[in-house]
Amino acid sequence: MTLLTISIQFVGLVKNIFIAKGFGVSTEVDAYNLANTYTVSITNLAIPAITVVLIPFLTRRTNELVIQSALNTYISTLLLSISLLVLFGSGGTLFLLQSDVLLSETMQWTLLIIMILSIAQIFRVLTAILTAFLQVDNDFVTPKVAILCSTIFSATYVVMASNPSIIGVSFFLTASFLLECIFLIIKNKGVSFRFQLQWKNNAFRKLMRQTGPVVFNSIVFQISLIFSITLAGFLGQGYVATLGYANQIVSIIQAVIIVNILTLVYPTMSRAFNKQIKIGKQLFINYVTVANMLVIPLVVGMIIVGDLLTALLFQRGAFTAEDTAQVTFFMTIISIGLPGLVLRDFVYRVYFCLEDTRTPSRISLVTIGINIILLLVLTPFFGIYAVILIPSVMNIVSGLVVYRLLEKRVGKIDPKHTLLKQHIITLVNAVVMGIVLYLLRMQWRMESSAAFFILVIVGIIVYGLLVCITQRSILRQLKNKGVSES
């Protein structure tokens, strides 16, 4: 899983390196990122429901006809809803393009790319459904292989073309989602599913009652995301592109560590909480500890050597040294909120394991509302810095708040304060590692690409030794308890 995820992120990174080389932080890249955000927001209404509602249902389903009918109806409803949204969005986009409304260059490019990428969103939802069936059968590798093939295909055009266009990049991205979908359809030959709309089915109605809060939460989150990215676009040309490059680097950490761990442990956590809450609590502590033992040192390392990484990846062609400095700053601020994101996402998974989708939705609604209000109030004073800093701070705050609320629901999670102690130790170890890297860099004037790799190796060695010295007991506990429970 880790190797495949790293491979996927690497290929995606190569694609973005060539986009940076050819287009820099131009209007075309702003438009491409805006269109991606707008179209992906459509499918992100359904995909969380697949993860939160469909997977637990599949782990408990039987071969009864009524259950199979509910499953068919649920999947059919999701696909039909997304198809209608895509059709409506494409129609509105086409109307704007053909109307006499005066549009900026960025908006014209954005609408054109939306027309291309919107088609891909139907394939993305079907892919998520097919992936859910495989994951319930403990097949996590096949979906990753499908994504890797899709990513390679998507990157082919921008890497191989002598004079690539942003429209060509968009066409190949859409085709890559179709390729991924076909691959998973072939691999899911044993899955019995047909289009069916039995909306009076009680099991289906229960699924929809659980789905409602998830979709509502997704709508609010997507509105917040679109608001932030659009606000960045209004603040100046190139900000959307810069945020895109920064998010690309940060997303590697999220995909390799956070998403991988959540994907692997969610079915296990669901079974554990259904069996005994005490077991589920211990798994929660173990998994959050492990995830942030990996995330926190990466955040510190990014602060120290992030500029070397950005220059190594993107600084060539149309991408300048000034762009490197801007992307590195954005990347650092965004990454600060990752440990809070880990805690919040795991807490949400616990609620989902308890078949409670309403509480996370309510919490997210309040969090996103506060986020939007702060953006409206502070952006006029702090500009783009408010846009990138506020979400990171809210990730940390919301993570702590939802943890406390969960304790009111299930009782004390960590009476021995193991989670807090291990996070403090992890933070101290990461800071010590950061100090060592900073002193080495200043002492030896290490500013080259080779210096980046040297510092990374030194950082891994220093942090690894510190973990072995200070956290050997928790590693032993994770091996003996966490692995055996899963």
pLDDT tens string 355-413: 787 788 788 788 888 888 898 899 888 888 888 898 888 888 888 888 998 888 888 89
State whether the Cα torsion 360-364-365-367 is positive or negative: positive
- Whole-angstrom distance, CA of residue 398 vs CA of residue 344: 7
Q: Is the pLDDT of residue 486 over 60?
A: no
pLDDT (0 to 100) of residue 220: 67
Mean pLDDT to the nearest integer, 418-435: 93
- Both structure tokens of 394: 């809210």
Mean pLDDT to the nearest integer, 26-55: 77
Q: Is 163 helix (H, G, I), strand (E, B) or coil?
A: coil
In 15-84, which ranges are E strands? none
- Whole-angstrom distance, CA of residue 77 vs CA of residue 147: 25
In 24-95, which ranges are E strands? none
Q: What is the pLDDT of residues 9-32, one digit of tens each?
A: 888 888 888 888 888 878 888 888
Residue 230: band (very low, low, confident or very high) from pLDDT cuts 50, 70, 90: confident
- Whole-angstrom distance, CA of residue 22 vs CA of residue 27: 12
- Whole-angstrom distance, CA of residue 181 vs CA of residue 131: 10
pLDDT (0 to 100) of residue 439: 92
- Both structure tokens of 155: 């990157």
- Whole-angstrom distance, CA of residue 83 vs CA of residue 85: 5
pLDDT (0 to 100) of residue 458: 94
- Whole-angstrom distance, CA of residue 128 vs CA of residue 53: 12
- Whole-angstrom distance, CA of residue 236 vs CA of residue 102: 19
Q: Is 139 helix (H, G, I), strand (E, B) or coil?
A: coil
* Residues contacting 95, CB < 8 A, separation 6+: none
Mean pLDDT to the nearest integer, 177-184: 90
- Both structure tokens of 350: 């616990």
Whether 361 and 213 have beta carbons less than 8 Å apart is answered as yes
Instruction: Name the residue among 5, 455, 49, 38 with its Cα closest to residue 212.
Output: 49
- Both structure tokens of 388: 């990138």
Residue 477: band (very low, low, confident or very high) from pLDDT cuts 50, 70, 90: low
- Both structure tokens of 238: 């190139």
Q: Is 330 helix (H, G, I), strand (E, B) or coil?
A: helix
* Residues contacting 137, CB < 8 A, separation 6+: none
Q: Is 337 helix (H, G, I), strand (E, B) or coil?
A: coil
CA distances from 249 to 11, 227, 342 (A): 12, 22, 17
